[in-house]
Amino acid sequence: MKLTLEMLLYFIRNLNPIIFHKCERERAFLGVKQFYPEEAQMEPDYLYVGKLSEICQTQTQLCRAKTFFEEDGVARKGTKTFLTVNDLLWGEKEIRQLPDCFILLDETYKIPYLMNRMIDLFQRMAAWDKQMHIAVLEGREIQSLVEISEPVLERPMIIFDAGFSVIAYTKQIVSTYTGFQKTIEKGYSEAGVMEKIRQKQILKQLKPGEALLA
Percent of the chain with pLDDT over 90: 45
Q: How many residues does the chain have?
A: 214
CA 104 – CA 95 distance, rounded (Å): 9
Q: Which residues partner with 82 through β-bridges? A: 48, 102
Give the CB-side neighbour count of residue 199, counting CA atoms within 13 A: 6
pLDDT in tens, 151-190: 999 889 999 988 889 999 999 998 888 889 889 999 998 8
Residue 66: per-residue pLDDT: 38
Query: Is 0.85 topped by the overall pTM?
Result: no
81 in Cβ contact with 103 (< 8 Å): yes
CA 147 – CA 127 distance, rounded (Å): 14
